Amino acid sequence: MKAYLELMRAGNCAMAAFAGLIGVLIAYNILSSASPYVSLSLFDTSLIFAVVFLVTGAGNGLNDYFDIEIDKVNKPSRPIPSGKISLKSALYFSLLLFITGIALAFLVNPLCGIIALFNSIVLILYAQSLKRTPFFGNASVGYLTGSTFLFGGAVFGMSGLQALLVLFFLATLATIAREIVKDVEDIEGDKKDGARTLPILVGAKKASYVAAAFGFTAMLASPVPYMQSILNEKYLFVVGIADIFFLVAVYQILGKKDAARSSKMFKFAMLFALISFIVGA
């Protein structure tokens, strides 16, 4: 069981699922202030959490299934290269998670079902091929991560989804920055695998500047939810702390050329940004 939670990267699944919950909460706050007829269903909210957890876990599992050769070099302790889970078990487990997550999403409403189905297709394409293409892989993971907010808002239909567009763009920009940094970190294993990632195409230094540009843009845009009265001043204070961690992450990759530490700092900043959304809702 522990190996399967590790294959799913349960920590990431929980982080993504909480982002879905935040999407529900913020969309409810916005829509209910405009109309007294908007109601929050705890059952649908729990389904949102479950769907994001399952589909994210499916994507992580399938990613490791296709990454077996890279991970033998980059991450030999992962469940499949270390032998804890066989390739076939990992594939069947991931497919089961995808099917369960999509089915539960359609139980909420057709819009959530369509998003879960589309995201599952993107995750499969990413694991199969997109991740080895310059920038498209990074953009896919950026979209998928940002879509967790849209998915939560979609519990109220298109109006709920639209209410979360700003948070979608912030999360997408920050994630693209981190994904490029991770590709800088993985450059040796990716080269052996014949992947054509941005750092392999343009060099680690230029790719680091591109990552920094995405990180800075996310930081500079972070006050927008407050300026648009989507989130309150408590958000502004906590996201200010997240922005400091984003700055440190950018310094780590540009100043120290330490991609591993930069990646960890980006993730820590994203966690703080998630907290700022909860605090400021």
Ligand X SMILES: CC(C)=CCC/C(C)=C/CC/C(C)=C/CC/C(C)=C/COP(=O)(O)OP(=O)(O)O
Ligand Y SMILES: CC(C)=CCC/C(C)=C/CC/C(C)=C/CC/C(C)=C/COC[C@H](O)COP(=O)(O)O
Summarize as ranges the residues that interact with Mg ion (CB under 5 A). Answer: 63, 67
- Using the rule CB under 6 A, is 274 a contact of ligand Y? yes
Which of 141, 184, 230, 249 contacts ligand Y by CB under 6 A? Answer: 141
C-alpha atoms less than 13 angstroms from C-alpha of 25 in its C-beta half-sphere: 16
Which of 214, 270, 280, 281 contacts ligand Y by CB under 6 A? Answer: 270
Distance CA 27, CA 165 (A): 10
Query: Residue 71: which residues within 8 A CB-CB, separation 6 or more?
Result: 64, 78, 80, 81, 189
Out of ligand X, ligand Y, Mg ion, none, what residue 52 binds, judged by CB under 5 to 8 A for its kind, is ligand X
Q: Could you say which residues in the range 90-149 bind ligand X, by CB under 6 A?
A: 115-116, 119, 123, 126, 131, 141, 144-145, 147-148
Q: Which residue lies nearer to ligand Y by CB, 12 or 38?
A: 12
Distance CA 69, CA 26 (A): 41
Q: Which residue lies nearer to ligand Y by CB, 108 or 138?
A: 138
- Using the rule CB under 6 A, is 63 a contact of ligand X? yes
How many residues are listed for the chain in this entry?
281
Out of ligand X, ligand Y, Mg ion, none, what residue 27 binds, judged by CB under 5 to 8 A for its kind, is none
Distances (CA, A) of 103 to 100, 108, 127: 5, 9, 21
Q: How many Cβ atoms sit within 10 Å of the Cβ of residue 220? A: 11
Which of 155, 207, 219, 249 contacts ligand Y by CB under 6 A? Answer: 219
Out of Mg ion, ligand Y, ligand X, none, what residue 270 binds, judged by CB under 5 to 8 A for its kind, is ligand Y
Least distance between ligand Y and beta carbon 35 (Å): 27
Least distance between ligand Y and beta carbon 62 (Å): 13
Distance, C-alpha 186 to centroid of its chain? 18
- Using the rule CB under 6 A, is 276 a contact of ligand X? no
- Using the rule CB under 6 A, is 12 a contact of ligand X? yes
Distance CA 208, CA 220 (A): 18
Distance CA 41, CA 55 (A): 21
| Number of residues located near ligand Y, criterion CB under 6 A | 23
Least distance between ligand X and beta carbon 269 (Å): 16
**Which residue's Cβ has the minimum distance to Mg ion?**
67
Which of 186, 215, 274, 277 contacts ligand X by CB under 6 A? Answer: 186
Helices (H), the chain: 2-8, 10-34, 42-66, 68-74, 87-108, 110-128, 136-153, 158-163, 165-185, 187-192, 198-202, 204-221, 224-227, 233-254, 259-280
- Using the rule CB under 6 A, is 168 a contact of ligand X? no
Distance CA 95, CA 12 (A): 18
Applying CB under 6 A, the residues found at the interface with ligand X are 12, 16, 51-52, 55-56, 59-60, 63, 67, 115-116, 119, 123, 126, 131, 141, 144-145, 147-148, 151, 182, 186
